[in-house]
Amino acid sequence: MRADTVVTGMGVVAPTGLGHAEHWAGTLRGASAIGPVTRFDAGRYPSRLAGEVASFVPEDHLPSRLLPQTDHMTRMALVASDWALADAGVDPGRLPEYGVGVVTAASAGGFEFGHRELQNLWRHGPQHVSAYQSFAWFYAVNTGQISIRHGLRGPAGALVTDQAGGLDALGQARRQLRRGQPMVLAGAVDGSPCPWGWVAHVSTGRMSEEPDPARAYRPFDTEAGGYVPGEGGALLVLESEEAARARGAARRYGRLAGYAATFDPPPGSGRPPNLLRAARAALDDADLRPGEVDVVFADAAGTPEEDAIEAEALRTLFGPRGVPVTAPKTMTGRLSAGGPALDVATALLALREGVIPPTVNIARPLPEHTLDLVTAPRRTPLATALILARGHGGFNSALVVTGPRRPGRATTPQRQESKPS
């Protein structure tokens, strides 16, 4: 039988708050953190809004030794890792030597750092490039820095599938737990609100150019006009139930019950997109039927075409208005790989509290979508949540979490799998 993957700790660094308590409180209030970019002068770009983690001051949380060698998003990731391990009550020094792995997802790496070094190189010459450039930009930087900070010597991983990576990292961690790893710290903290990163976002043509923060990112709305980027994310402490019990873990936020990833056919192929199939496969993996899902955390791309694909997938799977759907990321913007990881944390908190957090700024949901879009906090018993994510280029991922109120379906027959003794 397959071991249960439980979530025993979380570290959240989000535009909506530092730490999961502040994030949850802000999210329930519907307090959008989208505002004018402050980290650089965005005046010369067509899009000028972002979801920044305004209250994050790296010096308050990290030793000065780490600051010169890290991009801003790595600093946030390191702090999220501190909080996740503390929340789980873990002292890594007391765990088995190779007992803790790290898997993170990245999108563009330490891009702000990389931009600065490109400037040093092209303006001043090769002797002006920092020794830290050799790793501060690269996509594996958060995994490496986190493992060093906490002495985590288990398997390491880093995935790049744009936003879908936030779920893919958790799926990869779950695979490692099934192979006998007791604990994995996994998720994503990401985002590049920096000048060169902004040029990349603008180039997609899908960024919102609306200057009003309350109108800029409105997925599923009749006036959906693109997305707003942001920064932040979440890291989760994942354990096999067996390992969590053995160390006397204080709490379970819930279980990662199912996961699947699919890829879209090329544009113009005439074949349908595969988000629906990812959702179905994740439910199959969790051994759950669509009717057992209590809430969906949508990808909520924010462009009419992509929203339509997601709405159709949800309609096919659950029927018209068949399941409550929410997108709290309307308060944070899209945090690259960090967004879906944060959605998983938010979903687990929602299950625990029995409240669906709202999708904000949706004045007129597009009726054709036939979605039960939750636009004000909705109190209801919640046992199961489905989280969806898509990445640029065709990546689809889906993840199912079940809450502590549903102690699990451990007696349900699982996919046949034998273990050698």
Partner 1 sequence: MRTATHRRAVITGIGIVAPGAIGAKPFWDLLVSGRTATRTITSFDAAPYRSRMAAECDFDPVAEGLTPRQIRRMDRAAQFAVVAAREGIEDSGIDRGALDGARIGVVLGSAVGCTTSLENEYAVVSDSGARWLVDHSYAVPHLFDYFVPGSIAAEVAHDRIGAEGPVSLVSTGCTSGLDAVGRAADLIEEGEADVMVAGATEAPISPITVACFDAIKATSPDNDRPSEASRPFDRTRRGFVLGEGAAVFVLEEREHALRRGAEVYAEIAGFASRSNAFHMTGLRPDGVEMAEAIRVALAEARTDPSAIDYVNAHGSGTRQNDRHETAAFKRSLGAHAHRTPISSIKSMIGHSLGAIGSLEIAACALAIRHDAIPPTANLREPDPECDLDYVPLEARSLPVENVLTVGSGFGGFQSAMVLSGPGARGGSAA
Partner 2 sequence: MNQLTTDRLMEIIRDCAGEGDPIEAAGGRPEDLDFAALGYDSLALLETLGRLEREFGVAIQEDEFARATTPAQLTTLVNRLLAAVS
| Pattern 263-292, partner 1, x by CB under 8 A | xxxx----x--x--x---------------
Q: Which positions from 42 to 61 touch partner 1 by CB under 8 A, shown as an x/- string?
A: --xx----------------
| Residue 65 sits in the site that holds partner 2 (CB under 8 A) | yes
Count residues binding partner 1 (CB under 8 A).
89
For partner 2, give the closer residue by CB, 67 or 199. 67
| 3-class DSSP assignment, residue 191 | coil
Distance (Å, rounded) from C-alpha 415 to C-alpha 333? 37
| x/- letters, 113..152, toward partner 2 (CB under 8 A) | --------------xxxxxx--------------------
Q: Which is nearer to partner 1, 169 or 323 (CB)?
A: 169
- Binding region for partner 2 (CB under 8 A) out of 57-65, 142-150, 326-334, 411-419: 57-65
319 is an interface residue for partner 1 by CB under 8 A: no
The dihedrals phi and psi of 309, each to the nearest 5 degrees, come to -65, -45
Contact assessment for residue 104 and residue 158, using Cβ atoms and an 8 Å cutoff: yes
Write down the least CB distance from residue 113 to partner 1, Å: 11
Structure token digits, residue 296? 């969906």
| Residue partners of 121: CB distance under 8 A and separation at least 6 | 128, 129
Residue 264 DSSP symbol: P
Within 13 A of 405's CA, how many CA atoms are on the CB side? 14
Distance CA 31, CA 33 (A): 6
Residues of span 359-398 touching partner 1 by CB under 8 A = 391-395
C-alpha span between 183 and 409 (Å, rounded): 21
Give the length of the chain.
421
Compare residues 17 and 101 and give the one whose CB is closer to partner 1: 101
Residue with tokens 């709202």: 358
Measured CA to CA, the distance from residue 161 to residue 108 in angstroms comes to: 10
Which one of 19-27, 209-217, 241-249, 260-268 is the stretch in contact with partner 1 (CB under 8 A)? 260-268
Q: How far is the CB of 69 from partner 2 (least distance, A)?
A: 7
Does residue 111 belong to the site contacting partner 1 (CB under 8 A)? yes
Does 226 interact with partner 1 (rule: CB under 8 A)?
A: no
Cβ(399)–Cβ(167) below 8 Å: yes
Least distance to partner 1 from the beta carbon of 57, Å?
A: 23
